[in-house]
Each structure stands twice: as C-alpha cells, then as structure tokens.
Amino acid sequence: MNPADKLSGATGVGSRSDRGGAGQLGAVGLHPIDAGLPDSAFRVLEGVEAALRADVASADPFVTEAARHLLDAGGKRFRPLLVALGAQFGDPTREQVVPAAVVVELTHLATLYHDDVMDEAPVRRGAPSANSRWTNSVAILVGDYLFARAADISADLGTEAVRLQARTFARLVHGQIAETVGPRPGVDPVAHHLHVIAEKTGSLIATAARFGGMFSGASPTHTQALAGYGEAIGVAFQLSDDLLDISSEAERSGKTPGTDLREGVPTLPVLYALASDDADAASVRLREVLAVGPLTDDELHAEALGLLRESPALKRARETVRSRAEEARAQLAPLPPGPARHALESLCDQIADRTG
C-alpha cells in the first residue's frame, strides 16, 4: 500500500485503529506524519469525505456517476488536510471548517477533469479518466458542475469565502493559460515554470490553509502565516513531483519513470539541464537529446533518463526543492508550537527528503 493510503485508502480517511498510538496523518504521497494530532483533525477529514459524496450528487444519475468518478478513485486529500491542520490554530469544531475543506477539494477535483481533457490523459488515479470513459465534452461539463458546486457551498460561508475562491480560481486559470502558451520571448523558462506552479498548485493550497485558519477563528496573523505556508509548500510539493518523475522507480512513485520526459513536458530538472553551459560530455549530450522534444523513441528516452539521473541539473533541482521547503517552514514562525505546527514542519522535511 502507498504510504499516503494510510490516511486515504479509497475514501480519504483511515479507521481509528489505523492511526497508531499517537495518531498518524497520511502526508499525501509522503510517509505518514505521526504528530499526535487531536481527534478533531481526523474528524474534519472524515466529515469532508462524507460531505464530498453528498455534495457532488445530482438529480441526474448520470451526472452523479460522472462527478463521483474521480472521487471514488481515491486521492491524496492534501488540501482538506491543510484545512484540518490550519483549523488547529483556532476551533476546529466550528461548523464552517468542513464545508471550507469541501470547497477547496471540489475546486481541485474540477481542475483534474479539465486537465485530463487538455492533456488527453487516458488514466487518472489508476482508473480510466472521465474523458476516456465518456467524452471530452462530458469531462469538461462535469468539471464545470464541480466548480459550480464549490461556488454554491462557498456562498454559505460568506462573501469573503466567495471572493477568495473566485480569486483562487482566477489564478488557476491564469496558470493554465501561462502553461499552455509557454514562456514569452525573453522570459526565463525556469522563472516561467515556477510561476505556473505557483498559480496552478500553490494558489489553491494557500487558500486551503487560509480557510483552515479563517473558519476556525484563528487570529489574522496566524491565518496569514498559514496562507504563506500553503503557497510555499504547494510549490515545493509540485517541484518534488518534477524530480520524482526522473529519479523514482515505478513501484515508489506509482507511475512510469520519465513520463513527463516522454511527453515533452518541461520539468525543473529538464529546464536546468537545457539552461546549463556545462561543457562535459554528459551535459552536452543531455542537451542534445533533450532538444529533440518529446522522447518517444525508447532508446533516446532511456539515455536521457540515465543522463538526467546523474546530472548536475537534478542536483540543482533538489536544492531548489529544499530551498522552497525551507521557505515554507519560515512562514510558520508566527504560529505557536504544538502538534499542528509540528505536522506542518514535518511536511517540509518529508518533501525535502522524498527526492533523495
């Protein structure tokens, strides 16, 4: 079982007996965090799972089936996790905490339906993607439906929640546009890549952490610190996925190594390698192979993967991930010590360590 599944399994929340003596919180594709968190954190996540299934339901059985497609496939629930952790700095039992977590997870799920259409992805979370099971049009419309459900729930949370959710959605769209268009002339490709990740990934994770503070009644200072942490840890986490595509074996990462490389998706190690002016034979050859574009040829793909794994570019990318994880840790300075802050710090450590 994937370590993340200690929390989620197929539903997102483990049983009380799965949590260990102090309580283990699955750290979203990382090793579980044993942080001695109070049961209130688990109750938030359990509430989210129940609410998600209810909130995606429609009067049309087909819409319900399609909307539950990715939900039933499982998932990391990273964003609800950060809502639950952020809520520990206020009162996590407040009734708005669970709906706030549902808003961010539904928004995330909606983006996955749309991403799979744009990427022409045949599989998502180990199951056929919605677009391959039905059609692109159905997948797009189901994503729209989930966005609408998220907006409906956020309206019950108040004007500020609606505003934040809308602004986050705008950032998600801007990030997707930037990724689709690519870097403009004169723009550093690495800077462009980091901007895309901040918009597409960091923005929603920042909102998740902010919502945890906001709707638990945490102080404005603590809520702002949580939002800053969420943005930084979101970027670090996505960058670490860039590295895992290169460095990890299939049984560890859950996907075929070098998938992004084969599809021509620019990731941080690749961008660093292309920008390098190292004159050694391996670096020169790596740039030549990467310049080909999508590496559909098996021999070239294997050669590039091997060169990347031994390259200074991969080492530099690891240093960038660690730097971003430390930026996230620094955002926690205003928060009081305790199990929740320890869990957030542990995420920084595990993201920095997961890529070797």
User: What pLDDT was estimated at residue 308?
Assistant: 92
First to last CA, the chain: 21
**Taking the chain (356 residues) in consecutive chunks of 10 residues, what is each chunk's mean pLDDT?**
32 35 40 58 90 86 78 79 95 96 93 75 65 78 89 95 94 93 93 96 96 97 98 94 78 63 88 92 92 86 92 94 96 95 91 77
| CA–CA separation, 243 and 246 (whole Å) | 5
- Its pTM stands at 0.85
Cβ(3)–Cβ(24) under 8 Å? no
Secondary structure of residue 123 in the 3-state scheme: strand
| CA–CA separation, 215 and 44 (whole Å) | 12
User: What pLDDT was estimated at residue 10?
Assistant: 30
How many Cα atoms within 13 Å fall on the side-chain side of residue 40?
19
CA-wise closest residue to 92 among 224, 223, 215: 215
User: What pLDDT was estimated at residue 152?
Assistant: 94
User: What pLDDT was estimated at residue 356?
Assistant: 60
Q: Which amino acid is at 215?
A: F
User: What pLDDT was estimated at residue 17?
Assistant: 33
Two structure tokens written together for 41: 């954190």
DSSP code for 183: P
Structural domains in the chain, sorted by start: 34-216 (1.10.600.10), 219-355 (1.10.600.10)
User: What pLDDT was estimated at residue 190?
Assistant: 95
Cβ(25)–Cβ(343) under 8 Å? yes
CA distances from 319 to 192, 202, 323 (A): 18, 19, 6
CA distances from 97 to 63, 90, 149, 212, 347 (A): 27, 10, 17, 6, 21
Q: What is the sign of the dihedral through the CA atoms of 205, 80, 126 and 107?
A: negative
User: What pLDDT was estimated at residue 126?
Assistant: 59
Two structure tokens written together for 335: 């928060």
User: What pLDDT was estimated at residue 127?
Assistant: 67
**Strand-strand pairing, 127-128 and 123-124:** antiparallel
User: What pLDDT was estimated at residue 134?
Assistant: 74
User: What pLDDT was estimated at residue 123?
Assistant: 64
Cβ(5)–Cβ(26) under 8 Å? yes
Cβ neighbors of 192 (< 8 A, separation 6 or more) are 178, 182, 183
User: What pLDDT was estimated at residue 352?
Assistant: 86
